[in-house]
Amino acid sequence: MIECVSCKAKYDSDEIIYTCEKCGAVLEVVVDVDVSKETFDCRKDTLWKYKEFMPVDESKIVSLDEGGTPFCKCEKLGKDLGVELYVKVEGSNPTGSFKDRGMSVGMTKAMELGVDTVGCASTGNTSASLAAYAARAGLRCIVLLPSGKVALGKLAQAMFHGAEVLSVNGNFDEALDAVTQLALEKHLYLLNSINPYRLEGQKSIGFEIVHELGWNSPDRIILPVGNAGNISAIWKGITEFHNAGYISNKPMMTGIQAEGASPIADAFRKNAMDIIPVKNPETIATAIRIGAPVSSIKALRAIYDSNGYSETVTDDEILAAQLELARKEGIGVEPASAASIAGLKKLVNDGIVDKGEQVVCVVTGHLLKDPNTAIEASTEPIEIEADVEQLKNILLKNK
């Protein structure tokens, strides 16, 4: 069953529907599961480990073994900040971002519904993921990207996996409006995160975190927020495991936005439920360069209900955190992902995060998604001849 998050109107799960026909709000899949947590023992480490919680037909699964990503304790960075820090490395998914989790479940639903064309608007990672999963499913794939604003790696993936890539003169929000119209006219099945099945896959990040911690919730989960689907999804997952009795506590959901694209953080500051869209969102973290997040109600609810927080960080803070995570812990992430680390640093400084808190930062996409930003932030290689003496000189000089 699908339910409106606002007026609670109910819809059948075979209906192709993206927003509530009665009030226009976003929808949520209602999952009712009654299994013991031992059910998941000895299963392969993918999101389908928790298949009882995935509301789709098991015989139609489209998967690239997404999920089961690394959960790395960061001793050095954690010590510097005075917290117990874990990083959930979503760049290790098949196409290099957490979008694969949502796409696996969303594509499975597409197969169940029997559609022949799928589509999305994307800041990059959704299109990269959709293109790969559509190829695997054998469906036609159309993606709309904001012209000139998509990181190189993501563009390469979408094109190489055979999607029909359209470059839109406009930003993400405008591209999403256009493709949503196409979907409402039934020309394609929309796999943006307004599609509630996407979030069903992404909620497995929450499942894995609490399972990894021995059926315990961390004090806090911090993640970057763009269209606000992921924070909503993780909270949904945590809540489902809590309702199932697997865990007795829940984390403070903490959403970080870029200063130039921060409608959720702005609403949080005013303790409001409604966002004021940002007309011309701007940030180097292109994956969260979004002015009108479709899942804002779900996200703000997650933040308020969990006694969480929302904050903004500057592009400079994002880039500094990206570099620090790469150099101190060996974890390479794209700029948007580093917003979670930049946010943690800011919240520790501001006294919002307490000393000794157990914190999980979700880093959402791989470093190689955006090679240009990485190269610009680095010093050029030193040119030498293939000569041992020259090599020795340099090694000794830089010691």
Ligand X SMILES: *Cc1c(COP(=O)(O)O)cnc(C)c1O
Residues annotated as binding site?
125, 226-230, 364
For residues 77 and 348, the answer to whether their CB atoms sit within 8 Å is: no
Segment near ligand X (CB under 6 A), from 173-181, 205-213, 332-340, 378-386? 332-340
Nearest residue (CB) to ligand X, 46 versus 93: 93
* SS3 assignment, position 130: helix
Q: Which is nearer to Zn ion, 20 or 247 (CB)?
A: 20
- Of the chain, the end-to-end C-alpha distance in Å amounts to 63
- Tell the smallest beta-carbon distance from residue 364 to ligand X (Å): 3
Between 6 and 117, name the residue whose CB sits nearer to Zn ion.
6
Shortest Cβ 8–Zn ion spacing (Å)? 7
- Note whether 287 binds ligand X by CB under 6 A: yes
Q: Is 193 or 310 the residue whose CB approaches ligand X more closely?
A: 193
Three-state SS at 185: coil
**Residues near ligand X (CB under 6 A), total:** 18
* Rounded least distance, CB 255 to Zn ion, Å: 24
The entry of ligand X, Zn ion, none that residue 97 binds, CB within 5 to 8 Å by partner kind? ligand X
Residue with smaller CB distance to ligand X, 217 or 286: 286
Q: Residue 178, exposed/middle/buried by CB under 10 A (0-12, 13-18, 19+)?
A: middle
* Binding residue ranges for pyridoxal 5'-phosphate: 125, 226-230, 364
Residue 353: which of 220, 236, 212, 223 has the closest Cα? Answer: 220
For the bound state, the minimum distance from the C-beta of residue 383 to ligand X, rounded and expressed in Å, comes to 34
- Of 25 and 244, nearer to Zn ion (C-beta) is 25
- In the complex, minimum distance from the CB of residue 393 to ligand X, in angstroms, rounded to a whole number: 41
166 binds, among ligand X, Zn ion, none (CB under 5 to 8 A by kind): none
Query: In this complex, which beta carbon is closest to ligand X, that of residue 223 or of residue 347?
Result: 223
Q: Which stretch binds ligand X (CB under 6 A): 1-9, 174-182, 301-309, 334-342?
A: 334-342
Q: What residues make contact with Zn ion under the rule CB under 5 A?
A: 4, 6-7, 9, 20, 22-23, 25
For residue 160, the surrounding DSSP H or E stretch is: helix 152-160
Return all residues near 333 (Cβ < 8 A) that are at least 6 apart.
89, 91, 322, 325, 326, 363, 364, 365, 366, 367
Q: Residue 286 interacts with ligand X (CB under 6 A)?
A: no
Q: With beta carbons less than 8 A apart as the criterion, state whether 328 and 87 touch.
A: no
Distance CA 43, CA 378 (A): 41
Interface mask toward ligand X for 220-249; x: CB under 6 A? ----xxxxxxx-------------------
Q: Which of 221, 275, 336, 341 binds ligand X (CB under 6 A)?
A: 336
Shortest separation between residue 166's beta carbon and ligand X, angstroms = 19
With CB under 5 to 8 Å by kind, the binding choice for 224 among ligand X, Zn ion, none is ligand X
Using CB under 6 A, which residues numbered 352 to 371 contact ligand X? 364-365
Q: What element of type H or E holds 142?
A: strand 140-146
Min CB(104)–ligand X separation in Å: 15
Where do the DSSP E strands lie in 174-216?
Answer: 189-190
Cα–Cα nearest to 76, from 341, 393, 384: 341
Encoded tokens for 108: 């499975």
Amino acid making up residue 249: N
Of residues 246 and 367, the one with the C-beta less far from ligand X: 367
Helix (H) or strand (E) holding 140: strand 140-146
Strand residue runs (E) in 21-135: 27-29, 71-73, 84-89, 117-121
Q: Which partner in ligand X, Zn ion, none is near 229 (CB below 5 to 8 A by kind)?
A: ligand X
Report d(CA 118, CA 131) in Å as an integer.
Answer: 9
Residue 4: name its binding partner from Zn ion, ligand X, none (Cβ under 5 to 8 Å by kind).
Answer: Zn ion
The answer to whether 282 and 309 have CB atoms below 8 angstroms apart is no
Burial of 114 (0-12, 13-18, 19+ CB in 10 A): exposed
125 binds ligand X (CB under 6 A): yes
Q: Residue 2 or residue 294: which is nearer to ligand X going by CB?
A: 294
Q: Which residues bind ligand X (CB under 6 A)?
A: 97, 99, 125, 193, 224-230, 287-288, 334, 336-337, 364-365
